[in-house]
Amino acid sequence: DQQVKQNSPSLSVQEGRISILNCDYTNSMFDYFLWYKKYPAEGPTFLISISSIKDKNEDGRFTVFLNKSAKHLSLHIVPSQPGDSAVYFCAASVLTGGGNKLTFGTGTQLKVEL
Amino acid sequence: DTEVTQTPKHLVMGMTNKKSLKCEQHMGHRAMYWYKQKAKKPPELMFVYSYEKLSINESVPSRFSPECPNSSLLNLHLHALQPEDSALYLCASSQADRGGGYTFGSGTRLTVV
C-alpha cells in the first residue's frame, strides 16, 4: 500500500523556468509533509516542510503548497537552476507511539537544462 | 554540529561475514532510524529507536540486528546477509516527540558477495 505517491518519475525544465513537482497521499493522519533532494549514493537532504495545518510555506526559491481536501502537495522551484538536477522525494510524517515515522514517495528525477 | 555521520561509506562483505554499520549524531536528537534504499526506489524504514529503546521494527529479518548504546550512537550489526541485501543503508535522527523531518547521514553502500 503506497501511502505517498509521486506519479511523475521524471521532469525536464529549462533553466530559469519554474519546476513543479507533485505528490499525493492517502493517510489523513500525516502531520508534516517534507521534500528531500537526493543525489546518487548520498543521503537525502532536507529542503522544505509544511505542517498539515498550513497550506503554503516558502523558503527562498522553494515553495510548498498543501491541499488537504485533495490530499495533494506540490513543490515549486523558481527560478530553476542546473544545480537543482537531482531526485526529489516527497515524504510524510506521523508521530506514533513508537516514534516519528517518515514515509517516502517514489521520487521524481528533475533535470534542469541550460 | 548539525550532521549525522555514518561509517564506513562503503562495505563489501561475504555471506558468512559479520560486520557492523555505525552512526553518530550530536544534535541532541532522541530518535534515531535505520533506512534501506535500493536503486531507483525510495528509502524504506527498518528500525526506529526512541530514547534509546527500540520502538519500531518493520518486520526486518533477524540477520539485521540494531543496537543503540547511547543517545548519540546507533549501530546495525550484520550477519549471514544475502546478495539481495546489497543497498544503501541510511541512518537518520530527529526530535523524538515532535513531528517533522529527519536529518540523514550520507549512507553506507553495502555490497554482499
pLDDT tens across B84-107, in order? 999 999 999 998 877 777 899 999
pLDDT at position A41? 76
Which amino acid is residue B42, in one-letter code? P
Q: Which of B11, B29, B40 to mutate to test the interface with A (most CBs of A within 10 A)?
A: B40
Give the mean model confidence (pLDDT) for residues B24-51.
Answer: 93
Does the distance separating the beta carbons of B106 and A43 come in below 8 Å?
A: yes
Q: What are the chain A neighbours of B48 within 8 Å (beta carbons)?
A: 98-101
Which 8-state DSSP code applies to residue A41?
T
Asked if residues A65 and A53 have their Cβ atoms less than 8 Å apart, the reply is no
DSSP β-ladder status, A86-96 and A32-38 = antiparallel
Torsion (CA) B25, B31, B36, B39 in degrees, nearest 10? -70
Sign of the Cα torsion A107, A112, B2, B3 reads: positive
One-character DSSP codes across chain B:
---EEEE-SEEEE-TT-EEEEEEEE-S---EEEEEEE-TTS--EEEEEEETTEEEEE-S--TTEEEEEEETTEEEEEEES--GGG-EEEEEEEE-SSS-S--EE---EEEEE-
Helices and strands of chain A, counted as H and E runs: 0, 11
Q: Per-residue confidence at A11, pLDDT binned at 50, 70, 90?
A: very high
Does the distance separating the beta carbons of A94 and B99 come in below 8 Å?
A: yes
Cell of B28: 541532541
pLDDT in tens, A47-86: 999 999 999 999 999 999 999 999 999 999 999 999 999 9
Q: Per-residue confidence at A40, pLDDT binned at 50, 70, 90?
A: confident
Q: What percent of chain A has pLDDT over 70?
A: 98
